[in-house]
Amino acid sequence: METLKGKHAVVTGASRGIGLAIARGLLEQGARVTLMARSAEALDAAARGLGGGVAWQTVDVTDPASVEQAFKLAGAVDILVNNAGQAVSSPFLRTDAATWQRMLDVNLSGAYHCIQAALPGMLDAGWGRIVNLASTAGLTGYRYVAAYCAAKHGLVGLTRALALELAAKGVTVNAVCPGYTDTDIVQDAVANIVRKTGRSEEQARAELASANPQGRLVQPDEVAHAVTMLCLPAASAMNGQAIAVAGGEVM
């Protein structure tokens, strides 16, 4: 059953990894999907990989003008998935102001800009779904990623505040918080561990996977399943939640 038929979904950071898996899950439920990311080449390849007929728009979520233009071209949005994100690792005293600001701009303000663009149409329609891709770093602390943790904690806070504000208006707002997931961001973390510690790639991946009680990395499709569930009409009572997809790492 195509439970999202007639709904238009926008997914940011959708050219690869978790975002692409989310787009696929929403398409399988019958939604019309617009992919958004920075690279036109990557978006075009992703859209073709999804079978054609999938729209895409380039966007820099840190730039309000870019967001406004992209959403204007996309049209009215029923479902917004804020997946665009970046992670940079460094000890706190080596985290300069530019890095700190970049983590806030991409991981927190980017969601703010996209919600500002999409929400008016949802309110006019009396129905909407907003899902913010946070992280277990938004629920607990991690060493050497203070800026990323701060931004993701902020995103969870934004989710909860907006969920209360919109609770009686037909729009739900939730966060999905993956643990270490088998994506390019984790591959970058593996490379960083290898470079700084001299461990093998296999050892570095095992170290990250050890945070999950299941002893493995989460798969993008598993995160996409949680996101898709929150977008369904039947999920109308799910509001203001921060759902960990992490094998029991955070309870």
Are 23 and 51 contacting, i.e. CB atoms less than 8 angstroms apart?
A: no
Per-residue model confidence (pLDDT) at position 204: 83
How many CA atoms does the CB half-sphere of 128 hold within 13 Å?
27
Please compute Rg for the chain using Cα positions: 17
pTM, 2 dp: 0.94
Query: Tell me: the pLDDT tens digits for 184-227?
Result: 777 777 788 888 788 888 888 888 888 899 999 999 999 999 99
Whether 142 is catalytic is no
Please tell me which residue in 142, 144, 148, 180 is annotated as part of the active site.
Answer: 148
Range with the lowest mean pLDDT among 66-80, 123-137, 199-213, 229-243?
Answer: 199-213
Write the CA distances from 191 to 16, 140, 199, 209, 218, integer angstroms: 19, 23, 10, 15, 18
**Residue owning tokens 């779904």:** 129
Query: Tell me: the pLDDT tens digits for 144-165?
Result: 999 999 999 999 999 999 999 9
Those residues whose C-beta lies under 8 Å from the C-beta of residue 29, and which sit 6 or more positions away, are: 2, 3, 4, 5, 228, 231, 232
Residue 52 has pLDDT above 80, yes or no: no
Confidence at 1, pLDDT banded by 50, 70, 90: low
The two structure tokens encoding residue 75: 């049209």
The domains of the chain, with CATH numbers, are 8-179+220-236 (3.40.50.720), 180-217 (no CATH)
How many CA atoms does the CB half-sphere of 237 hold within 13 Å?
1
Are 130 and 173 contacting, i.e. CB atoms less than 8 angstroms apart?
A: yes
Q: Mean pLDDT over residues 102-118, rounded?
A: 98
